[in-house]
């Protein structure tokens, strides 16, 4: 074996498919004593230690006790400029935007401030085991330069874009259809496809863009291969009424985006809490995705996400934190709240479905499942080491657990950043817990 090959030994678990499609048992692969082999930033193979180790003579093997290796988590919706305003009190969406969000995002006109926050934000993602995220910048193009510069240094697979908004926001935070288009294009030319970085055309949401801006955003989305489109959809009842008043000629909220070409593969809509069947159908048939953001939906009082309805229609669904409306960077905590959202509707969320949502399901929602999401040979070596003994309570709970299912479920309910012992991106350690 060449000397740059590395191996990691622990319990290993990864998703193979959506449990909704293949059943729970066929949806994952688990090795109680497994080895993950990595070379040149990619997965070489995964399997049982007793089979692989004899073939790995001379290879450096890192061993972790009482630990579980899983693929890195994927966050399909988050706002990096909102890092400093997480946990802001008392408002639902529209007042929350005016009271907290817009003044906070104003500060990102300053590139040095943007660079500081981008560093804090990425560190926090990695502390929580998230290795890929679809990220809102602010309206300022320098906010996105700052973000991509920081992500490039760490060789992370990240997707981001400059916010487009040309109305219904303070003057200090608006662009114009033309400047928004030109600035986005400049950023695409500079960053899209550079290393592991991807660009997302990012209209904030329908109420803050004129039809002229949405038209140009749709044009841009069609202009470059593999570009993303990232926005919000049907999050809050008052927001939905506002969209109806602003776009009376459209059939509904989704139709505003659809009419402007802002739909299709790699179009990712955050929330979708209040969608009708026709809208779910349209999302499914166009290959668009929804980001389910449970901590945010609860925190802003937006409503209970109907995962089963979206699944019935065949919509791609990923998991998002939506920080700063979301209350944690941890996808384990997102899964904790997702479980409760389901319980409140008399439904269940199986722990293997949770694993899928946080990893391979997110990769599928982002059309990145050929590169990330599980440990198939050739994929990016983005993975996390989770510590079964992270806290006294977690260690004690794990001692009682009789099955992998029970352990995994307890990890998703009790776990957070404390559980993440080490995070690897492209085969390099990018976070190690003290
Ligand atoms: N809708 C429009 N902008 C935002 C935002 O920043 N956060 C959330 N949660 N919803 C939005
Ligand atoms: Zn959001």
What's the rounded mean pLDDT across residues 214-241? Answer: 98
Is the pLDDT at 417 greater than 70? The verdict is yes
- Going by pLDDT thresholds of 50, 70 and 90, the confidence category of residue 195 is very high
Q: Which pLDDT does position 3 carry in this prediction?
A: 61
Torsion over CA of 22, 25, 31 and 36, rounded to 10 degrees?
A: 10
Q: CATH 3.20.20.140 in the chain: give the residue spans.
A: 73-329
Percentage of the chain lying above the pLDDT 70 cut? 99
Report d(CA 318, CA 293) in Å as an integer: 9
Q: Which pLDDT does position 272 carry in this prediction?
A: 98
* pLDDT digit string, tens, across residues 145-171: 999 999 999 999 999 999 999 999 999
Report d(CA 279, CA 252) in Å as an integer: 8
How far, in Å, from the CA of 24 to the mean position of ligand 2?
Answer: 31
Q: Which pLDDT does position 67 carry in this prediction?
A: 98
Q: Does residue 101 line the site of ligand 1, with CB under 6 A?
A: yes
Q: Which pLDDT does position 428 carry in this prediction?
A: 98
Report d(CA 110, CA 60) in Å as an integer: 45
* pLDDT digit string, tens, across residues 357-401: 999 999 999 999 999 999 999 999 999 999 999 999 999 999 999
How far, in Å, from the CA of 232 to the mean position of ligand 1?
Answer: 7
Shortest-distance atom of ligand 1 to CA 235: 10
- Going by pLDDT thresholds of 50, 70 and 90, the confidence category of residue 432 is very high
Q: CATH 2.30.40.10 in the chain: give the residue spans.
A: 5-72+374-432
Q: Does residue 322 line the site of ligand 1, with CB under 6 A?
A: yes
Protein residue whose Cα sits closest to atom 8 of ligand 1: 325
Cβ-Cβ contacts under 8 Å for 231 (sequence gap 6 or more): 202, 203, 204, 205, 206, 257, 262, 268, 269, 270
Distance set, CA 160 to CA 79, 141, 227, 369, 373 (Å): 9, 11, 10, 18, 19
Is the pLDDT at 97 greater than 70? The verdict is yes
CATH architecture observed for domain 5-72+374-432: Roll (2.30)
Q: Which pLDDT does position 2 carry in this prediction?
A: 61
How far, in Å, from the CA of 351 to the mean position of ligand 1?
Answer: 28
What's the rounded mean pLDDT across residues 236-241? Answer: 98
pTM for this entry = 0.98
Q: Does residue 79 line the site of ligand 1, with CB under 6 A?
A: yes
Buried b (16+ CB within 10 A) or exposed e, 221-258: beeeeebbbbbbbbbbeebbebbeebbeebebbbbbbb
Q: Does residue 230 line the site of ligand 1, with CB under 6 A?
A: no
Q: Which CATH superfamily is domain 73-329 in?
A: Metal-dependent hydrolases (3.20.20.140)
Q: Does residue 204 line the site of ligand 1, with CB under 6 A?
A: yes
Lay out the sheet containing 60-71: strands in order across: 42-48, 28-39, 6-15, 60-71, 383-387, 420-425, 428-432
* pLDDT digit string, tens, across residues 26-79: 999 999 999 999 999 999 999 999 999 999 999 999 999 999 999 999 999 999
Q: Does residue 105 line the site of ligand 1, with CB under 6 A?
A: no
Shortest-distance atom of ligand 1 to CA 296: 9
How far, in Å, from the CA of 97 to the mean position of ligand 1?
Answer: 7
Q: Which pLDDT does position 434 carry in this prediction?
A: 87
Q: Which pLDDT does position 235 carry in this prediction?
A: 98
Task: Report the mean per-residue pLDDT for the chain.
Answer: 98
Cβ pair 5, 38 in contact under 8 A: yes
Q: Does residue 234 line the site of ligand 1, with CB under 6 A?
A: no
Q: Which pLDDT does position 1 carry in this prediction?
A: 61
* pLDDT digit string, tens, across residues 334-357: 999 999 999 999 999 999 999 999
How far, in Å, from the CA of 324 to the mean position of ligand 1?
Answer: 9
Percentage of the chain lying above the pLDDT 90 cut? 99
Q: Does residue 231 line the site of ligand 1, with CB under 6 A?
A: no
């Amino acid at each position: 074996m060449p000397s740059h090959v590395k191996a990691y030994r622990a319990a290993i678990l990864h998703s193979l498919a959506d449990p909704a499609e293949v059943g729970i048992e066929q949806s994952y692969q688990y090795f109680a004593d497994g080895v993950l082999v990595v070379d040149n930033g990619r997965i070489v193979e995964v399997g049982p230690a007793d089979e692989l180790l004899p073939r790995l003579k001379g290879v450096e093997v890192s061993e972790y006790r009482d630990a579980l290796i899983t693929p890195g988590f994927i966050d399909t919706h988050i706002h990096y400029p909102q890092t400093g305003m997480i946990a802001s009190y008392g408002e639902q969406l529209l007042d929350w935007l005016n009271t907290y969000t817009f003044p906070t995002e104003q500060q990102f006109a300053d590139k040095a401030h943007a660079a500081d926050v981008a560093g804090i934000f990425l560190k926090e993602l990695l502390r929580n085991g998230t290795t890929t995220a679809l990220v809102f910048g602010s309206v300022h193009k320098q906010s996105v330069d700052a973000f991509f510069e920081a992500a490039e240094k760490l060789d992370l697979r990240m997707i981001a874009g400059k916010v487009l908004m040309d109305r219904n926001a303070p003057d200090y935070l608006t662009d114009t259809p033309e400047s928004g288009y030109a600035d986005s294009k400049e950023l695409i030319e500079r960053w899209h496809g550079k290393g592991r970085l991807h660009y997302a055309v990012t209209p904030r949401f329908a109420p803050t863009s004129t039809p002229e801006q949405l038209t140009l955003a749709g044009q841009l989305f069609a202009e470059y291969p593999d570009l993303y489109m990232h926005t919000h959809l049907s999050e809050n009842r008052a927001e939905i009424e506002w969209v109806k008043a602003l776009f009376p000629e459209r059939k509904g909220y989704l139709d505003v985006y659809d009419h402007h070409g802002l739909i299709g593969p790699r179009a990712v809509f955050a929330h979708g809490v209040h969608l009708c069947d026709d809208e779910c159908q349209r999302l499914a048939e166009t290959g668009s995705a929804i980001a389910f953001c449970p901590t945010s939906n609860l925190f802003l009082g937006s409503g209970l996400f109907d995962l089963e309805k979206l699944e019935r229609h065949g919509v791609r669904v990923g998991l998002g934190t939506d920080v700063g409306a979301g209350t944690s960077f941890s996808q384990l905590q997102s899964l904790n709240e997702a479980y409760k959202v389901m319980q409140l509707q008399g439904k269940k969320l199986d722990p293997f479905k949770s694993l899928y949502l946080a990893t391979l399901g997110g990769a599928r929602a982002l059309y990145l499942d050929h590169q990330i999401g599980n440990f198939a040979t050739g994929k990016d070596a983005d993975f996390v080491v989770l510590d079964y003994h992270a806290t006294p309570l977690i260690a004690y709970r794990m001692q009682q657990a009789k099955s992998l299912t029970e352990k995994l479920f307890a990890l998703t309910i009790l776990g957070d950043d404390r559980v993440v012992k080490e995070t690897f991106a492209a085969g390099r350690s990018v976070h190690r817990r003290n």
